[in-house]
Amino acid sequence: MLIIAAVLSGCVSANPKVNRAPPREYTVTVLADRGWQESRIRVRSGQVIECAAEGQWNDHFNSYGPEGNPEIQKGHFSVMAPANSLIMQVGQHTNISYYIGLRTNVVAERSGEIRFRKNFSLPIGMEGEVKVKVKICDDADGDGLADYDEINFWKTNPLSTDSDGDGFNDFEETIDIRTKAAAAAETNAQEQAAP
Instruction: Considering only CA atoms, give the Rg of the chain.
Output: 21
Q: Tell me which amino acid residue 166 is.
A: D
**# residues contacting Ca ion (CB under 5 A):** 8
Segment contacting Ca ion (CB under 5 A): 69-77, 89-97, 130-138, 158-166? Answer: 158-166
Number of other CB atoms surrounding residue 121 within 10 Å: 20
Contacts with 180 (C-beta within 8 Å, 6 or more apart), sequence order = none
Phi, psi of 54 (to 5 degrees): -150, 160
Cβ 107 to Ca ion, closest distance in Å?
Answer: 11
Segment interacting with Ca ion (CB under 5 A) among 9-17, 20-28, 90-98, 168-176: 168-176
Backbone φ and ψ of 93, nearest 5°: 55, 40
- Sequence-separated (6 or more) residues with CB below 8 Å from residue 144: 48, 105, 107, 171
**Contact status: 166 vs Ca ion (CB under 5 A):** yes
CB nearer to Ca ion: pick between 77 and 143 = 143
Q: Between 36 and 154, whose beta carbon lies closer to Ca ion?
A: 154
Output the smallest distance, CB 165 to Ca ion, in A.
6
Least separation in angstroms between residue 153's CB and Ca ion is 12
What is d(CA 123, CA 59) in angstroms, rounded to the nearest whole number?
9
For the CB of residue 168, give the shortest distance to Ca ion in the complex, in Å: 4
Identity of residue 131: K
Contact set for Ca ion, span 86-145 (CB under 5 A): 139, 141, 143, 145
Nearest one of 21, 186, 136, 102 to 178, comparing CA atoms: 186
**Shortest approach of Ca ion to residue 17 CB, angstroms?**
12
Contact (CB, 8 A) for 108 and 47? yes
- For Ca ion, give the closer residue by CB, 49 or 81: 49
89 vs 174, beta carbon nearer Ca ion: 174
Nearer to Ca ion, 79 or 106 (CB): 106
Give the binding site for Ca ion (CB under 5 A): 139, 141, 143, 145, 162, 164, 166, 168
